[in-house]
Amino acid sequence: MTIETKTDGAVFHIALNRPEKRNAIDGATTAAMRVALDEFEEDLSLRVAVLTGTGGTFCSGADLNAGPAGERIRDEYGLASFTNRPRKKPVIAAVEGRAFAGGFEIVLASDIVVAAEDATFAIPEVKRGVMAGTGIWRLPRSIPFATAALIVLTGDPIDARRAFELGLVSQLAPPGEALAVATSIAIAIAANAPGSVRETLGLMRESLGLNDEDANLLARQALSRLSKTADFKEGPRAFVEHREPKWTGE
Catalytic positions: 105, 125
Q: Cα(178)–Cα(189) distance, rounded to whole angstroms?
A: 17
3 state DSSP class of 106: helix
Q: Cα(189)–Cα(21) distance, rounded to whole angstroms?
A: 32
Q: Cα(26)–Cα(16) distance, rounded to whole angstroms?
A: 11
Q: Cα(142)–Cα(111) distance, rounded to whole angstroms?
A: 12
In Å, how far from its chain's centre is CA 73?
18
CB atoms within 10 A of CB 153: 10
**Residue pair 173/114 in contact by the 8 Å Cβ criterion:** yes
**164: which residues sit within 8 A by CB, 6+ positions away?**
115, 171, 172
Burial class of residue 58 in the structure, from the number of CB atoms within 10 Å of its CB (0-12 exposed, 13-18 middle, 19+ buried): buried
Q: Cα(76)–Cα(226) distance, rounded to whole angstroms?
A: 29
Phi, psi for residue 133 in degrees, rounded to 5 = -95, -105
